[in-house]
A and B are shown apart, each in its own frame.
Chain A
């Protein structure tokens, strides 16, 4: 059973507009959530995270929102840039520890000039 779900395999947006990537989870024990970004032929890189004690975390153009009651988180990118085109993975951890990190299947974002 998939514990972390990214239901949209792909998303296409225009440069300058907002990109919203969504992620749902089923395990109520998850208490730390992360987004990773992956370019082709490279390893994933950490982008932003949020603890379950918060509902929002910002880092420049990137904001992650957490709705614990809905078991849903989203990544907002504003404004979107062509260099943001990549695969974005949502990940979750229960009670801390990298060994418990569970990844979603990823969403491929394409930002068109």
Chain B
């Protein structure tokens, strides 16, 4: 099983550029989410979804958009990248009633110049 797959693994952007981080899971999980990890900051929730067509904001949503058109996919969009968005991004999924036991992707390292 592939689990949670993130692409790309590495990306360099210039300030103001846009891009989409892709996330796909093959476990039929209802819940999907995006986190960012910064040095000394732990994991912070950006956006999450509890099912197709349903999304909500997490702790640090500004500058990011999401959509959930299928159960499998949960892309994260940066509309106008800023240096403050330089980070490692993790997508995670779980069964909706399985509290907190998230399955994470391998991460996408984004650098904004």
Contacts and interface: CB of A to CB of B under 8 A. Distances in A.
Interface of A: 4, 6, 9, 32, 34, 36, 41-46, 49, 89, 91, 93, 96-99, 101, 103-106
B26 interface: no
A44 B99 contact: no
A99 B46 CA distance: 10
Nearest to B49: A99
Contacts, number: 69
B99 A97 contact: yes
Interface in B47-70: 48, 50, 56, 58
Interface of B: 4, 31, 33, 35, 40-45, 48, 50, 56, 58, 90, 92, 94, 96-107
Given A99-B56, A101-B45, A105-B40, A91 B106 contact: no
Contacts of B33: 98-99
A24 to B, nearest CB: 14
A89 B104 CA distance: 13
Nearest to A99: B48
A43 B104 contact: yes
B99 A32 contact: yes
A2 B46 CA distance: 16
Contacts of A99: 31, 33, 45, 48, 50, 56, 58
Which 9 A-B pairs give the minimum distances between C-beta atoms? A43-B104, A105-B42, A103-B43, A103-B42, A93-B100, A96-B99, A98-B94, A34-B100, A99-B48
Nearest to B59: A102
Contacts of A104: 42
Contacts of B48: 98-99
Contact of B90 (A43, A46, A91, A97): A43
Given A98-B101, A103-B42, A105-B41, 11 more contacts: A34-B101, A49-B99, A89-B43, A93-B99, A93-B100, A98-B102, A99-B45, A99-B50, A99-B58, A101-B100, A103-B35
